[in-house]
């Protein structure tokens, strides 16, 4: 299928998932993850209404940003190394993978303006994944909430690796993240409006569990080569 057809199908699936959980599909923000995807295909997706591009690597994002620019918003969805922060804050309007005090301090040092961030949480507890443990989130936010260049808007997680073949396996992780967001909001008496969870294999379950931002690549661009 073409990218246009993929985007239309994606919107249909979002509407169906939102309907099952009595939610407004307009609440769901789509981040088109463009790792390894060409500028031409990204431009095609933009023409179909995609307004946020997610990238995993700063260098790849920089090359695409030099062509596409501010036509869309750019989100860092992969692990961000501290030595890449100087470049990252020039490109990305949101960093979805804030997961250490060292990274937070580097963003504070390098950012020219306030940067929107999500705290990444390792809800599946897989050793191979980045992100804070759920138990560490409260103390971490307490430690960074005074930083002036960081605006934490919510939380992000990735379902377990085996969810690619068993999407239901992601449900406990997604439920955990949404409940953690609610507890964080209550504890600190402020809203954390963004719950970023769900990828191509499991975004419908994520929506059912409260996600309002999904990060999908294959569902838009097709299988990567």
The per-residue pLDDT for range 61-102, each reduced to its tens digit, is 999 999 999 999 999 999 999 999 999 999 999 999 999 999
Per-residue b/e over 164-187, b at no fewer than 16 CB within 10 Å? eeebebbbebbbbbbebbeebeee
Share of the chain above pLDDT 70, in %: 100
Per-residue b/e over 55-78, b at no fewer than 16 CB within 10 Å? bbbbeebbebbeebeeebebbbbb
Residue 225: which pLDDT band, with cuts at 50, 70 and 90? confident
Residue 72: its pLDDT value, please? Answer: 98
> Does the structure show a pLDDT above 90 at 164?
no
Residue 45: which pLDDT band, with cuts at 50, 70 and 90? very high
Look at 163 and 182; give whichever has higher pLDDT.
182
> Does the structure show a pLDDT above 90 at 59?
yes
d(CA 118, CA 78): 12
> Does the structure show a pLDDT above 80 at 200?
yes
Specify the pTM. Answer: 0.96
d(CA 164, CA 199): 9
Residues 86/110, Cβ–Cβ less than 8 Å: yes
Q: Domains, the chain, ranges and CATH?
A: 3-221 (3.20.20.10)
Task: Specify the residue for token string 């209404």.
Answer: 49
d(CA 18, CA 213): 12
Token representation of residue 29: 């923000």
Residue 157: which pLDDT band, with cuts at 50, 70 and 90? very high
Residue 165: which pLDDT band, with cuts at 50, 70 and 90? confident
Residue 163: which pLDDT band, with cuts at 50, 70 and 90? confident
> Does the structure show a pLDDT above 80 at 126?
yes
Residue 159: which pLDDT band, with cuts at 50, 70 and 90? very high
Instruction: Compute CA 9 distance to the chain's CA centroid, rounded to the nearest angstrom.
Output: 21
Residue 34: which pLDDT band, with cuts at 50, 70 and 90? very high
Token representation of residue 33: 């993850």
Q: For 87, phi and psi rounded to 5 degrees?
A: -75, -40
Token representation of residue 16: 């169906």
- Tally of helices (H runs) and strands (E runs) in the chain: 9, 8
Residue 224: which pLDDT band, with cuts at 50, 70 and 90? confident
């Amino acid at each position: 299928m073409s990218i246009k057809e993929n985007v239309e199908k994606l919107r249909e699936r979002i509407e169906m998932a939102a309907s099952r959980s009595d939610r407004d599909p307009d609440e769901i923000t789509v981040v088109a993850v463009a790792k390894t995807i060409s500028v031409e295909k990204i431009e095609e997706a933009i023409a179909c209404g995609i307004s946020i591009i997610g990238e995993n690597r700063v260098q790849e994002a920089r090359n695409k940003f030099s062509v596409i620019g501010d036509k869309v918003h750019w989100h860092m969805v992969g692990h961000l190394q501290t030595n890449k922060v100087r470049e990252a804050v020039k490109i990305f309007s949101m960093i979805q993978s804030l997961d250490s005090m060292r990274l937070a301090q580097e963003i504070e040092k390098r950012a020219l303006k306030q940067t929107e961030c999500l705290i990444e949480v390792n809800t599946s507890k897989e050793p191979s994944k980045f992100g804070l443990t759920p138990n560490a989130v409260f103390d971490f936010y307490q430690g960074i909430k005074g930083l002036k260049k960081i605006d934490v808007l919510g939380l992000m997680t990735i379902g377990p690796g085996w969810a690619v073949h068993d999407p239901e396996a992601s449900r406990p992780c997604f439920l955990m993240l949404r409940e953690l967001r609610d507890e964080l909001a209550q504890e600190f008496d402020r809203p954390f409006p963004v719950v970023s969870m769900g990828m191509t294999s499991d975004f419908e379950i994520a929506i059912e569990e409260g996600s309002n931002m999904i990060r999908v690549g294959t569902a838009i661009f097709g299988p990567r080569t």
